[in-house]
Amino acid sequence: MTVVERATRLSAVGSGLVLYPNGIKAADAANPDLGARIRAAGHVPGPGDARPLVAPDGTVLSADPIGGLADRFGAPQVSLLRYALQQALIATTGDAELITGASVDCHSDHGDHVSVELSTGDTIRADLLVGADGVNSRTRRRLFDDGAPVYRGYTSLRGRSSVPRCYPNGVTVAGDGIDLFVAPVGGGRVYWTAKVVAEQGDWPALDAGTALAALLRRIRDWHPPIVDMIRRTDRESGIVITDICDRDPIDDWARGRGVLIGDAAHPMSPAMGQGASMALEDAAELGALLNALPQDVPGALKDFCAVRAPRTAEIVLESRRKGGVDSKASRGADVRARAANEFTTEDERLAGLFGWRPRVWEGTR
Ligand SMILES: Cc1cc2nc3c(=O)[nH]c(=O)nc-3n(C[C@H](O)[C@H](O)[C@H](O)COP(=O)(O)OP(=O)(O)OC[C@H]3O[C@@H](n4cnc5c(N)ncnc54)[C@H](O)[C@@H]3O)c2cc1C
């Protein structure tokens, strides 16, 4: 297997993310060592830990019992730096070759193999091409040419800071036109994500310092420990600004010997924090299917899509529904109602989402 990554350097910059029990189980299924490394590299909540949802003035509205997930679903929630996840993936790719600083520019499907052209001028001959090239996937453009992802009305700023003393398990803040999510990543550090209602392109046009100053102006009346945490943001690891886009789900991401996974296949807004977990589920399922050595590769890729498309479509649409950041001034009762809805741990929806188990591919083509 050859992995081609266009980034020249895999550096320790960037923010963090949360992997939920389904994502951790997918990592375990792909390679138990990967799951172990992810747990070791990130923050795993203790059994009784909860993450509060607060109003901007710090009033606690509800608490998300994150520590109970492991017992209930067989794997914990883990929050970690993206770089740490990338390192865990690289350490567990076995004998795969990793080529960095080269982008996949083109590919041709010859029926019994694909040839993949790189920006370096090299060509790779392979059994299949897996396009895991993100929300603006060029592989998707070549396979489907179905236009650009759609902006969903808010942008995101992400950074790293130190753990606010009163929120050791992180915190979620439901503000006016701004929502903030903070989670520990180990070593006394947190990553934070602010979702801000905005016109497309406005925030990404700002440099990091200007964007951070603008965010601090918008939240200056918030609970002081939260403002202070944002003010202490680590400038060296950078502020990542991303306009939030998704796509309507499609039910087939395979053409011949080419297939998409992750955001290339089903980009979603981050409201449910499921994008990377879904990408890991895809990887675990596709890996298991290919390990069964199907004779009919294009047919097997269709089988893969038939399993994955309904599940991911549900998450794309649910994330879109939940995703909007409220821009109205009055929150109080609204937020409480929303919180009660979001944090109902007995919810069957959560069982369906976090209770995921990898499929055993029997009798593949
Ligand atoms: C604000 C925000 C918060 C989020 N929070 C969470 C969270 O808490 N939990 C969660 O699970 N998900 C979260 N997500 C979603 C998550 O980041 C994505 O779903 C996940 O990164 C998708 O992984 P991927 O590998 O498909 O794509 P990506 O992570 O985008 O990786 C694609 C890779 O392909 C490379 N590439 C692109 N084009 C080429 C090319 N032509 N040739 C070679 N290489 C190429 C890129 O350099 C990149 O390394 C969040 C997203 C946002 C925007």
**DSSP of 315-360, one letter per residue?**
HHHHHHHHHPPP--S--HHHHHHHHHHHT-TT-HHHHHHHT--PPP
Ligand 1 in reach of 262 Cβ (< 6 A) = yes
Q: How far is the CA of 244 from the centre of ligand 1 (A)?
A: 12
Residue 359 has a pLDDT of 85
Average pLDDT over residues 41-51: 97
Architecture per CATH, domain 2-47+74-147+250-325, reads as 3-Layer(bba) Sandwich (3.50)
Rounded to whole angstroms, the Cα distance separating 26 from 89 reads 13
Mutational test site, ligand 1, from 133, 243, 322, max ligand atoms within 8 Å of CB = 133
Mean pLDDT lowest among 9-18, 206-215, 317-326, 350-359: 317-326
Rounded to whole angstroms, the Cα distance separating 156 from 178 reads 9
Q: pLDDT-based confidence at 332, cuts 50/70/90?
A: very low
Q: How do the domains of the chain map onto residue ranges?
A: 2-47+74-147+250-325
333, 286 Cβ separation under 8 angstroms: no
Whole-structure pTM over 0.85, yes or no?
Answer: yes
Strand 189-197 to 150-162 pairing: antiparallel
Q: pLDDT-based confidence at 363, cuts 50/70/90?
A: low
Ligand 1 in reach of 172 Cβ (< 6 A) = no
Ligand 1 in reach of 161 Cβ (< 6 A) = no
Q: How far is the CA of 48 from the centre of ligand 1 (A)?
A: 31
> Closest ligand 1 atom to the C-alpha of 135?
30
> Closest ligand 1 atom to the C-alpha of 7?
47
